[in-house]
Chains A and B, each alone.
Chain A
């Protein structure tokens, strides 16, 4: 097996690209989550004006994660990013047509705080069990310590296939 054949093999199976939208209220920890995914330093985070984007490799997928500012003023712009989105991570947007059938992952962040609500409580609060038209998952995590973040991404990789079929 030569170098050439390896190269050819790589070329014939390009990484599948997945677009992930990360949405949420301001100070929810979206940018921290993004930096944690990209294994970057999380101690210098400033509020997001506009958006950040990072590409992460995971299980043969190229995850393009879009982190969009959560400030009320910016929320009207969210809809510009809905086109071609494969995974979504917030609940209120389920009504949006452009996003129909897009799997939803909800991160119940800041679980490192004692006062954080457990994932089950949040699921109830958001009435997640009423969602019928798409797959969804709630994942408790802490973007600060990185706990649970990878589990969430594993779920993403598994469910992207389901959506594409």
Chain B
């Protein structure tokens, strides 16, 4: 009974707040002569803070047109903006900037949703060793990471050198499907120096801290590093979850002037690999068994960073040069 009453009060409170909000919007509209979308565009600077406010406003709107506008096809955006302007009785000649701002926001919003769909499609496609395209990508990954060592055969213990679990990497892609391979290959190809550095560090990250003799002794005890490719697949999982949960909106709305694309996502992956590697060395874990603890701590840190609306997971290395604008 007590529980029921509490729930009832919460429901009433919700409707009351919603009603108050609507009243406030109505009064503001009468006072300023501008609708909510206009007020947002005039009062907040472009980037994540503006786009996210516009997104909430559109989604919570009582008009069907505004509600559905966040999921229209990218080609229909211009038409939708015209419809919205008409519905809100805004004269485009008096407010030329508004249409452009709204369009930019909507492109980002729709683009983010489509990016989720694209990424999900790749994730769902399992690695297939009968597919020559998949095989070629895998072999390329080896070539980019180990340009000076030829792979002796397709099924080989050598795969362990770049951090796969066994002699055939195909089973390691599992839940992340092709997305894991795409990301790893992108990192190894576009950011080759960094990727090779991370790979070599991952084999013995603490090397610099010890004298050579000490290091040799230490290595006898146990392998301190982590498995590059497996960690890459785990970081892909992290990036994927950040994307789907919407946490990456801040980042993409700040860096992509229009719709974010798959390569933006892959750059984010490169950045996360980089940062994770730094984080791993800072954390200085005892051994690989601490991986999940370190990964969780890293995830929390990234999420906290992304809560700041001005945040962009600023890629500061080769793969993303010339991409930061806005």
Contact = CB atoms under 8 A, between A and B. Distances in A.
Interface stretch (A42-50, A92-100, A122-130): A42-50
A138 B234 CA distance: 32
Interface string A38-77: 0000011111011110000000000000000111111011
Contacts of A52: 292
B191 interface: no
A71 B175 contact: no
Interface stretch (B21-29, B85-93, B207-215, B282-290): B282-290
Contacts of A71: 165-166, 227, 230
A47 B174 contact: yes
B237 interface: yes
Nearest to B244: A44
A80 B289 contact: yes
A66 to B, nearest CB: 11
B222 interface: yes
Given A26-B165, A26-B166, A46 B287 contact: no
A44 B165 contact: no
Interface string A11-51: 00000000000000011000000000000000111110111
Nearest to A28: B171
Contacts of A69: 288
B171 A46 contact: no
Given A50-B292, A71-B230, A43 B165 contact: no
Interface string A118-157: 0000000000000000000000000000000000000000
A38 B70 CA distance: 36
Contacts of B222: 76
B303 interface: no
Classify chain A's interface size. Answer: 20 to 34
A50 B165 contact: no
Nearest to A41: B175
Contacts, number: 68
Contact of A49 (B166, B171, B240, B288): B288
B227 A44 contact: no
A81 B115 CA distance: 42
Contacts of A46: 174-176, 180, 230, 233-234, 236-237
A51 B174 contact: no
A69 B291 CA distance: 11
B234 A49 contact: yes
Contacts of A72: 160, 165-166
Interface string B270-308: 000000000000000001111111010000000000000
B231 interface: yes
Interface string B109-122: 00000000000000
B223 A73 contact: yes
The 10 closest A-B pairs by CB, nearest first: A50-B291, A49-B291, A45-B175, A27-B171, A26-B165, A44-B175, A71-B165, A50-B289, A47-B230, A46-B237
27 contacts: A27-B174, A43-B175, A44-B175, A44-B237, A44-B240, A45-B175, A46-B174, A46-B176, A46-B233, A46-B234, A47-B172, A47-B230, A47-B234, A49-B291, A50-B288, A50-B293, A51-B292, A52-B292, A71-B165, A71-B166, A71-B227, A71-B230, A73-B160, A73-B227, A77-B287, A77-B288, A80-B289
Given A26-B166, A47-B165, A50-B288, 8 more contacts: A27-B166, A27-B174, A43-B175, A44-B176, A47-B234, A49-B231, A51-B292, A72-B160
